[in-house]
Amino acid sequence: MQLIVLRYQDAIVKSQEIPNEVSLVIYISGCPFRCKGCKTPKLQENQGEELTKEVVNMFLDSLGDDITCIIFMGGDIAPDEVNELAGHVRKYYPYLKIGWYSGDETISVFTEYQNFDYLKFGPYIKKLGDLKSPKTNQRLYRVEGEYLRDITKSLR
């Protein structure tokens, strides 16, 4: 099996993605989807610096308690690698919440929930809008054991 290297293009601290959390959002390259109206088409290109555990450590060590959460934005090109990074964060930074914003349709591609506190699914469909739109197809879940609680409305 060929190992896919995750790459990232930006890492920004934001407070809008998850309610009541200040998150380091890491924008991962190589998105395999082609949503019409995509707001970040550069993420469809597989370019940028390699996203390793050491890079994640560097970000988290420098931010300390300025953040309460880390979000992997994308990474559908290699969900197993995203899961591995999340597991690393869970082990070495247990005080942080962990989120994954996937562009995939369903949750069936990914069953290992314990490494995540928040999961977002659904591609961007322009006429339905993003997570803040009342018509959106996208869903944000809080992981509660094996149960996923839909908290999409809390973003509006």
Instruction: Give the interface with ligand SF4 as residue ranges (CB under 6 A).
Output: 31, 33-35, 38, 40, 43-44, 74, 103, 123-124
Of 20, 132, 6, 142, give the one whose Cα is nearest residue 74. Answer: 6
CB of 27 to ligand SF4, least distance (A): 9
CB of 146 to ligand SF4, least distance (A): 26
CB of 8 to ligand SF4, least distance (A): 13
Please identify, using beta-carbon distances, which residue of 41 and 53 lies nearer to ligand SF4.
41
Q: How far apart are CA 121 and CA 101, in angstroms?
A: 7
Indicate the residue whose CB is closest to ligand SF4: 103
Please identify, using beta-carbon distances, which residue of 87 and 129 lies nearer to ligand SF4.
129
CB 93 within 8 A of CB 47: no
CA distances from 147 to 47, 115, 139, 141 (A): 35, 13, 14, 9
Q: Hey, what are 26's tokens?
A: 């890491």
Please identify, using beta-carbon distances, which residue of 35 and 60 lies nearer to ligand SF4.
35
Please identify, using beta-carbon distances, which residue of 105 and 144 lies nearer to ligand SF4.
105
Q: How far apart are CA 119 and CA 151, in angstroms?
A: 10
